[in-house]
């Protein structure tokens, strides 16, 4: 082996030993894929996000991703007004499948193996969700993208993320947002707002701080699955969290 490759491989081994979380569930909202566009998938943005994930996967971190669909369709949005709610929600779930396929494609274009597992059967385009297979893929170092939310109307992809995170025995749920954590007030409106470094689930509830939707939050709390809220658009933020740096907000039991 050439000395440079030996050095890189040793460096990665040392970094792997310092990673704080070995298996994570990353929740990406549909909106995080839009970039500056008014809707849909922005290729440059998705490539930037996927590169961040690749960085930690290369350190040996096992990554499951739950992706939302709000950039394309939401069951509770104006577009769906006067529609039957369950039908609109199925459309929303199908939007998440489109995002999942785009993510898989982006991962593979960077040479990172990825699999899509859908909670709704669509066997021509994605495997149907199966827990043992998903765990096997994670152990093999493949990124597993969970599509179609929970497969049920009236839920959200935040809840799907909590569910898959608990089922996959993840060490942490990483909630990617456009803000670098949970603040005492809205930092866009109040310049004196301060970021919480850590918070307990109880504090978040008592202070009425919105971390995830109530069902997802309750499930994480009950399963003792801690949450880190961080800014996915900040370069290196994901890796910083994984390496235990002061990044984002940790919500814990």
Q: Which residues bind ligand UDP (CB under 6 A)?
A: 29-31, 68-70, 74-76, 88-89, 92-93, 95-96, 149-150, 152-153, 155-160
Rounded to a whole number of angstroms, the minimum distance from the CB of residue 173 to ligand UDP is 13
- Binding residue per annotation — 69? yes
Rounded to a whole number of angstroms, the minimum distance from the CB of residue 103 to ligand UDP is 13
| Closer of 162 and 182 to ligand UDP (Cβ) | 162
Q: State the DSSP string of 131-189.
A: HHHHHHHHHTT-EEEEESTTSSTT--HHHHHHHHHHHTT-SEEEEEESSSS-BSS-TTT
Tokens of 243: 């390496």
Rounded to a whole number of angstroms, the minimum distance from the CB of residue 187 to ligand UDP is 20
| Closer of 52 and 157 to ligand UDP (Cβ) | 157
Burial 131-145 (b: 16+ CB within 10 A, else e): eeebbebbeeebbbb
Q: Residue 152: how many CB atoms within 10 A of its CB?
A: 15
Rounded to a whole number of angstroms, the minimum distance from the CB of residue 16 to ligand UDP is 30
- Binding residue per annotation — 152? yes
Rounded to a whole number of angstroms, the minimum distance from the CB of residue 120 to ligand UDP is 10
| Closer of 59 and 219 to ligand UDP (Cβ) | 219
Judge whether 215 and 225 are in contact, CB under 8 Å: no
- Binding residue per annotation — 29? yes
- Phi/psi at 85 (nearest 5 deg)? -60, -45
DSSP 78: G
Rounded to a whole number of angstroms, the minimum distance from the CB of residue 167 to ligand UDP is 14
| Closer of 19 and 238 to ligand UDP (Cβ) | 238
Alpha-carbon gap, residue 237 to 230, rounded angstroms: 7
| Closer of 53 and 59 to ligand UDP (Cβ) | 53
- Phi/psi at 39 (nearest 5 deg)? -165, 175
Alpha-carbon gap, residue 53 to 50, rounded angstroms: 5
- Binding residue per annotation — 150? yes
The CB-nearest residue to ligand UDP is 68
- Binding residue per annotation — 149? no
Q: Which residues pair with 117 in a beta bridge?
A: 127, 146
- Binding residue per annotation — 85? no
- Binding residue per annotation — 183? yes
Alpha-carbon gap, residue 245 to 253, rounded angstroms: 20
DSSP 129: P
| Closer of 59 and 70 to ligand UDP (Cβ) | 70
Position of tokens 């093999």? 140
Q: Which residues are annotated as part of the binding site for ATP?
A: 27-30, 70, 74, 177-178, 183, 186
Q: Which residues are annotated as part of the binding site for UMP?
A: 69, 89, 150-157
């Amino acid at each position: 082996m050439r000395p440079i490759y030996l050095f890189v491989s040793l460096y990665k081994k040392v970094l792997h030993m310092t990673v704080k979380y070995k298996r994570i569930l990353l929740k990406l909202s549909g909106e995080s894929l839009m970039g500056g566009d008014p809707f849909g998938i922005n290729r440059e943005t998705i490539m930037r996000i996927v590169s961040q994930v690749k960085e930690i996967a290369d350190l040996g971190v096992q990554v499951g991703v739950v992706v939302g669909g709000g950039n394309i369709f939401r069951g509770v949005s104006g577009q769906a007004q006067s529609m039957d709610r369950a039908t609109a929600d199925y459309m929303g779930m199908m939007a998440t499948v489109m995002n999942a396929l785009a993510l898989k494609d982006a991962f593979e274009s960077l040479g990172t193996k990825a699999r899509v597992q859908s909670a709704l059967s669509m066997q021509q385009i994605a495997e149907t969700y199966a827990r043992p297979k998903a765990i096997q893929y994670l152990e093999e170092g493949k990124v597993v993208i969970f599509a179609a939310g929970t497969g049920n109307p009236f839920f959200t992809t935040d809840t799907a993320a909590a569910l898959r995170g608990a089922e996959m025995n993840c060490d942490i749920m990483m909630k990617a947002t456009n803000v670098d954590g949970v603040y005492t007030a809205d930092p866009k409106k109040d310049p004196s707002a301060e970021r919480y470094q850590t918070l307990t689930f109880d504090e978040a509830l008592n202070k009425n701080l919105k971390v995830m939707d109530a069902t997802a939050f309750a499930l994480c709390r009950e399963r003792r699955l801690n949450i880190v809220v961080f800014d996915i658009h900040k370069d290196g933020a994901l890796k910083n969290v994984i390496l235990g740096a002061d990044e984002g907000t940790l919500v814990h039991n």
